[in-house]
Amino acid sequence: MPTTPAETSELSYEEARDELVRVVAELERGAATLEQSLALWERGEALAARCEEWLIGAKTRLDAARASAGSPGPAAGSPGAGAGSPAQKAE
């Protein structure tokens, strides 16, 4: 399981989401020590942030596609406007 931000930034949306589900399940079991629980919580926060990056990027791409097709989309100052997707950064 990746533990550094650099390793987290390499995860696809699906990989980050699936690992986040496993982390939450482990925390819900309640069998981890306090230290393990804190590490799991921190990992979950990093994974949730990675998922959010992907979702913001996907929304931006959809907004751009709508704009190029002439469909109304959110204004330039709307949340999510102007953010690039991780997929675009990797290309």
pTM: 0.70
Give the whole-angstrom CA distance, residue 54 versus residue 61.
10
Stated as kind and residue range, the H or E segment containing 55 is: helix 34-68
Mean pLDDT, the chain, rounded, equals: 84
Return the structure tokens found at 60.
């931006």
Return the structure tokens found at 4.
């550094």
User: Apex CA 42: angle with CA 36 and CA 44, to 5°?
Assistant: 100
Give the whole-angstrom CA distance, residue 91 versus residue 85.
10
For residue range 38-59, list pLDDT tens digits in order. 999 999 999 999 999 999 999 9
Query: Residue 53 carries which side chain, given as an amino acid letter?
Result: E
For residue range 79-91, list pLDDT tens digits in order. 555 545 555 554 4
